Amino acid sequence: MAVTEDDRGGQSDVLLMGAVAYDPKVVTIWDGFRRWLLAHDLPFDYVLYSNYERQVEDLVAGRIQAAWNSPLAWVRARRLAQRRGATVSALVMRDTDQDLSSVVVVRSDSPAANARDLAGGVVATGAIDSPQATLLPIDALRISGLRPGVDVTIRRFDVGVGLHGDHIGGERDAARALMAGQVDAACMIDANHLAFTKEGTLTAGATRIVCQTEPFDHCNMTVIDSAPAALTARFGELLLAMDYADPDVRPLLDLEGLTAWQPGRVNRYQALERAVDNTRFYDAEGRICAADYRP
């Protein structure tokens, strides 16, 4: 159903973006970006969502024109849009979103030398909807020759379900379970493997990697093709022009975890598309299929 100007409260001349409130800092970040964008003559506003599923549905329905999406939200947005005869594109992404990988780690004293050696064991993951700590590393185990749920038991730590892994509490809990000897391996993004060691969740030198995913990209700013082209183009230009040396934006970039915005790309989402299909998380048209997923 088409969304009219009246449906948007007369704000069709404003670029409306959605963001998921996974942390209180999200308000600080986008309040700051909004002020900066308005000062640069872009009519811009944002709305917050409690989960990515509602945000994606609103994007594809045209109730918002842009969405700061997780990689899993991108997959669903692409599939839902295609189902409805629309298209979405990745406008920009952070420099820190590109060429990441996730790892499956064991304790250093584990007899497992590779992923196949985990057969018969228990592997801890993050939340059910975490690409980095669940979907991608589980699929990497499958590629290694293991059947998750058959050859290995999967123990999920469902913290922040609906946030697509943005809340890393489940990932951290999986690491703690590994250190406590409650599981044989734990899944996490490689950056958190380092971060958890630095913060003391993982003891330095006490873990090693037995499996690693292929490189993947993380979040992107997804825009729907029905959005005003001039507004989305200007939005992308302004984000790409943000300068880390600018004292007005540097604190916001630090909070958002980047030093520069980069043009969006989608070629590093294939592994996640495959993982989504293999786990039947979404179907080909973007419908939620995971039976125990309740965002």
pLDDT, one tens digit per residue, over 221-267 is 999 999 999 999 999 999 999 999 999 999 999 999 999 999 999 99
Residue appearing with tokens 């979405």: 88
Residue 239: predicted pLDDT: 98
Q: How far is CA 286 from the centre of its chain?
A: 16
| Residues in contact with 133: Cβ distance below 8 Å, sequence separation at least 6, in sequence order | 102, 125, 126, 127, 165, 168, 170, 171, 174, 187, 188, 189, 192
Residues of the chain short of pLDDT 70, as ranges, are 1-12
Cα–Cα dist 206/23, whole Å: 30
pLDDT digits (tens, 9 = 90+) for 109-118: 999 999 999 9
89-112 burial by CB neighbour count: b if 16+ within 10 A, else e? bbbbbbebbeebbbbbbbbeebeb
Best CA proximity match to 176, nearest among 200, 198, 158: 200
CATH class of 102-212: alpha beta
Q: Under CATH, what is the fold of the domain 15-97+217-279?
A: D-Maltodextrin-Binding Protein; domain 2 (3.40.190)
CB–CB of 222/73 below 8 Å?
yes
Burial class (CB in 10 A: 0-12, 13-18, 19+), 220: buried
Domains of the chain, residue spans = 15-97+217-279, 102-212
Q: Which amino acid is at 86?
A: A
Q: Are strands 220-224 and 88-90 parallel, antiparallel or unpaired?
A: antiparallel
Q: What is the pLDDT of residue 8?
A: 41
Whether the domain at 15-97+217-279 and the domain at 102-212 fall into the same CATH topology: yes
| The predicted structure's pLDDT at residue 56 | 98
Contact 208, 215 (CB under 8 A): no
pLDDT for the residue 12:
66
The whole-number pLDDT of residue 36 equals: 98
